[in-house]
Amino acid sequence: MTALSMIVNGVKVSAETEDRTLLVYFLREQIRLTGTHIGCDTGQCGACVAHVNGRAVAEAMA
């Protein structure tokens, strides 16, 4: 398990998660932000895109 702390939508969040957890699953399942979706599971369709430090990132690949 890894302890994570980050600022999401201006709010500091902290949680523990498995090392292999993808960001999209962390956002949806750990901190209950369900606006990010899982589409193709490869980052190709764009459903899982999030902004990380001002940059668009396909979360399946992050």
- 61 pLDDT above the threshold of 60: no
- For residue 9, the 8-state DSSP code is T
- CA atoms in the 13 A half-sphere facing the CB of 25: 11
Q: Where are the beta strands (DSSP E) in the chain?
A: 2-8, 11-17, 49-52, 55-58
pLDDT tens column, 6-57: 999 999 999 999 998 888 888 899 999 888 888 887 778 888 888 888 888 8
Cα distances (angstroms) measured from residue 62 to each of 14, 53, 59? 18, 13, 5
- As a CATH number, domain 2-61 is 3.10.20.30
The pLDDT of residue 53: 87
- With beta carbons less than 8 A apart as the criterion, state whether 12 and 25 touch: no
Q: Where are the domains of the chain?
A: 2-61
pTM for the whole structure: 0.75
